[in-house]
Structure 1
Amino acid sequence: MRRSGIHDFARASIVNLVRREIAKTHPALLSGMSKPIDNLRNVAVPANDKRTLLTRILDEAGAEVVLAIGQGLRDGDFDPIWRAAARARDPQQLFHGWRRLEGYAHSTNRLEMCCVKDRQVDCRRYKVNGAETPSPVENLLICGVLIALLEIIGCHGVSCNMALFGHGSVVLYENGRFNVPDQRGDGLETTSWTIHWRAFAPKHQGHQGHQADLPTDPEISIPFPSGCNSEARRAVFQAATYLSADFLRQWKVSELARELGMSQRSLQRRLGEAELNYSSLVRGLRIQEACRLLEDKDTTLAAIGFCAGFSDSAHFSRDFRAATGTTPTAFRDALSSQ
């Protein structure tokens, strides 16, 4: 039997969102479909099931309903992938996390995102590895999800333009409303679109000069040596707080130092005084986060590795075993037996 992986989990995350939102507005469309998916317990979702469901929604309810599904993410979600995306500090971090998830999941349909201006991203859907070309309805769903996530993280005045077959384009989204030229959106060239936003006010902040405003996290544990001075302890704990706020961001030591209001050399010196270096701090915090997530016996190991910031499942398993002396599976089993 094939093991469930992050690819299945990501697909289940999408299908679960679709079902939840359609149940609110067009419940009759779910009649006769398979039972709702608990993507924390059973992540295997056939790709054809997703396509069949979306096609039914498009045929019966129209393209605007498909586009609006992503707006349901505003209500929050238990799914760790959606929670992680909603915590992005800025659009660039959101796009980076999206690309990481696609690579981690070995996705065969992907989204190219090119930031040509400070407040504009050009998007293009494409296939890899000889996969099926993403369908127009799947493209519309992804477009709507990305619009919703940009607004959730703090983008204001979001609008979206999509090309029309033949020539020209249409303003697909503006002032919080979707607009399509025909019910099914048949005139839309759905493989590419452009999203603009007028301004950005981050929901998750951590700017230089505001270290005192940082939240404290009792789950962060730093093994300071007994002789470590208070300044080093404070700097290292602040660094750990930034890193732990979003494990999907691939921080560079220079970026972190700038956020803390110190030079890179000063940060490295403080880490050294705590008998740490940057890599060991990041790795230790990721292991702590993985241990916390492993307390939930229903979340897949693949999703835990991704949400804890590991580049792939192999690195997650290797680093976890090196740090704890056991595998993630054995660690979880030990927790459940207590």
Structure 2
Amino acid sequence: MNIDAKICHEPRSNVGNLRVNEPLGEAYSAYWNWWLKHFAHQAEARFPDVYARCTQQDPDAKDALSRIGMLYEARGCAAVFGLARALGRPSGFDVISHLLTSAQSVSGLVRRWSGVLALQSSIRFEESFARQEFIVADQCNSLVLSPYKVRPANQKPFGPAMLAGVATGTLESAGIHIQGIWSVTRGGASYPMYRFGTFLGDGIDFDSDILIVLSEDTPGLKGDAGLMPPARSLSFCHLVNRQTGPGANRLLERIVGSLERSEGEHPGLTSTAAELGLSPRSLSRRLTEAGLGYARLVRFVRLRKATRLLAAGNCCLDDVAYQASYSDRHHMSRDFRKMAQLTPAGLRELLAR
């Protein structure tokens, strides 16, 4: 069964009203809140029998996480993994997604992913991640994922299957051919889950490792430009209320372009409106209609610009802060902690390895 053929590309705006992943940073929350709602909508479209009677009986079933839990209870890990794999390609800006999709090799992806999770664990949970590696390169052509070792994947019974599916979908979106996926239990027993495009059964236990065997002719990742086109992993379209239509995306692009050109203190609403040929009141109203606030959009643009500068090898934090329109490096550090649960200094050290 080809689950990819069942996927549409826009989430409905009324699937779930509760926000998710709030403790994990504003940027992370914004993207993955959108993604989980999208997942819940796709689950409802793909498995209508699972949700046919539950929505009216349980008002809480409209919450995205509750609906994903219903799919897990009814169809098991294989359904969650398969749908997450089909939707795994990043389609909006999040610091982690951008760092992973701009990696140049399998080893670079592993190093970045493990390093970011270690940095975030030290800030979020005040715990060491040194012995809790989520992803390792087992051999030259295979990866081992341990989703049960990392929060928030290990906070929900379907979390490991979902995270493993996202990782698999991201690799496949790069054009990397995956020969097979195996579930490996704590006791060492191996169960094939997926081989050559076919799901073989529901073999993921909550605490299983996931062995992803890559094609033997995959020495690294596709090309020299990272996993995928930058436009996808750097997009802010997930911030926009889709009911406002394509005009909202065009306005967003114009505002972001204006903010990207600034250095030092970011321009206020009045100066940005003037550059776009709008009154401040008109710009504010149109942003509100699109579900955005000017100050919030500015925070996202600054974070993205600083992340790109750090990923490009700019090592002077004072210069990065100035070019990204922060007032100083301390302001930038506070924003990184709040929005991504990372520090610029920690990120710089990780990218320099």
User: TM-score by structure 1 length?
Assistant: 0.51
The residue that corresponds to 1:85 in the other structure is: 100
CA distance in 2, matches of 1:301, 1:22: 30
Gaps of 5+ in 2: 1-21, 227-232, 235-259, 268-296, 333-353
Cα distance change on mapping 1:325 and 1:101 into 2, 3 Å:
closer
Instruction: Point out which structure has higher relative CO (alpha carbons under 8 A, 6+ apart).
Output: 2
Q: Which amino acid aligns with 1:96?
A: R
Say which of 124, 131, 139 aligns to 2:146: 124
* 2:94 equivalent to 1:60: no
Identity, in percent, stands at 12
Amino acid at match of 1:98: W
Q: Is the 8 A contact 2:78 2:202 kept in 1?
A: no
CA, structure 1 residues 307+14, in 2 after alignment: closer, same or farther (shift >3 Å)? Answer: farther
For structure 1, the 5+ residue unaligned runs are 36-48, 208-245, 248-287, 331-338
- The amino acid of 1:56's aligned partner reads M
> Partners in 2 of 1:141 and 1:26 — Cα distance?
16
Report the AA paired with residue 205 of structure 1.
Answer: D
Shift of 1:206: 6.5
SS of the residue 1:204 aligns to: coil
Given the alignment of the two structures, is residue 299 of structure 1 paired with residue 300 of structure 2, yes or no? yes
Verify: 1:94 aligned to 2:109, yes or no: yes
Shift of 1:138: 0.5
Alignment check: 8 A CA contact 1:6 1:302 kept: no
**2:182 and 2:211 in contact (8 A); partners too:** yes
CA contact (8 A) 1:86 1:152 kept: no
Q: In the superposition, relative to structure 1, how do residues 19 and 119 fare at CA in structure 2: closer, same or farther (>3 Å)? A: same
Task: Call closer, same or farther: CA 1:303–1:162 in 2, change over 3 Å.
Answer: farther
State whether residues 18 and 69 of structure 1, in contact with CA within 8 Å, keep that contact through their aligned partners in structure 2.
Answer: no
Q: Write the letter of the residue equivalent to 2:172.
A: E
**How big is the shift at 1:322?**
9.1
Checking the alignment, whether the CA contact within 8 Å between 2:185 and 2:209 is kept in structure 1 is: no
| 1:279 corresponds to | none
Distance 1:25 1:154 in 2: 25
- Which amino acid letter does the alignment assign opposite residue 204 of structure 1? G
- 2:183 aligned to 158, 162, 182, which one? 162
The alpha carbon displacement at 1:320 in A equals: 0.9
Cα deviation for residue 58 of structure 1 reads 0.7
In the alignment, residue 192 of structure 1 is paired with which amino acid? D
Instruction: Specify the alignment match of 2:223 in structure 1.
Output: 204
Partner of 2:310: 309
Deviation at 1:77, TM superposition (A): 0.8
- Alignment deviations for residues 5-58 of structure 1 (CA, whole Å, 9 cap, x no partner): 7635335433422321331341465955698xxxxxxxxxxxxx7754532231
Superposition deviation, residue 159 in structure 1: 1.7
> Offset at 1:62?
3.1
* Aligned counterpart, 1:281: none
Q: CA deviation at 1:152?
A: 1.9
Which position in structure 2 is the counterpart of 1:9? Answer: 27
Deviation at 1:325, TM superposition (A): 8.1
Q: Which letter does structure 2 place at the counterpart of 1:9?
A: A
Distance 1:147 1:163 in 2: 16
Q: AA paired with 2:38?
A: R
1:162-186 Cα distance to aligned partner (Å, 9 max, x none)? 125766221122222333337xx5x
Among 19, 44, 55, the alignment partner of 1:26 is: 44
Instruction: Quote the Cα distance in structure 2 between the aligned partners of 1:18 and 1:194.
Output: 24
Please, what TM-score do these two structures have when normalized by structure 2? 0.49
2:200 to 162, 179, 186: 179
Amino acid at match of 1:190: D
What is the CA distance between 1:113 and its match in structure 2?
2.0
Asked if 2 retains the 8 angstrom alpha-carbon contact of 1:162 and 1:190, the reply is no
Select the residue among 164, 170, 180 that pairs with 1:149: 170
The change in CA–CA distance for 1:51 and 1:18 in structure 2 (over 3 A counts) is: closer
Partners in 2 of 1:132 and 1:197 — Cα distance?
Answer: 23
Contact 2:100-2:109 at 8 Å conserved across structures: yes
CA distance, structure 2, for counterparts of residue 319 and residue 61 of structure 1 = 48
Distance of 2:28 and 2:71 partners within structure 1 = 20
Q: Cα 1:158–1:88, aligned 2, differ >3 Å: closer, same or farther?
A: farther
Moved more, 105-114 or 60-69: 105-114
Equivalent pair of 1:151/1:158 in contact (CA under 8 Å): no
CA distance in structure 2 between the aligned counterparts of 1:168 and 1:87, rounded to whole angstroms: 34
Provide the rounded CA distance (Å) in 1 between the counterparts of 2:261 and 2:192.
42
Q: Distance in 2 between matches of 1:100 and 1:305?
A: 18
Give the letter aligned to residue 26 of structure 1: E
Choose which of 207, 210, 222 in structure 2 pairs with 1:193. Answer: 210
RMSD across aligned positions (CA):
4.7
Q: Deviation at 1:105?
A: 3.2
Q: Distance in 1 between matches of 2:307 and 2:200?
A: 35
Distance 2:41 2:150 in 1: 32
- Deviation string, structure 1 residues 297-318 (Cα, Å, up to 9, x no partner): 36275565445437xxxx8578
Q: Which protein is richer in helix relative to its size?
A: 2
Alignment check: 8 A CA contact 1:163 1:189 kept: no
Instruction: Find the residue that maps to 1:136 and give its secondary structure.
Output: coil
Distance (Å, rounded) in 2 between the aligned partners of 1:323 and 1:80: 16
Number of residue-to-residue matches in the alignment: 228
Letter matched to residue 214 of structure 2: W
2:82 partner amino acid? A
Give the number of the structure whose residues are more often strand, by fraction: 1
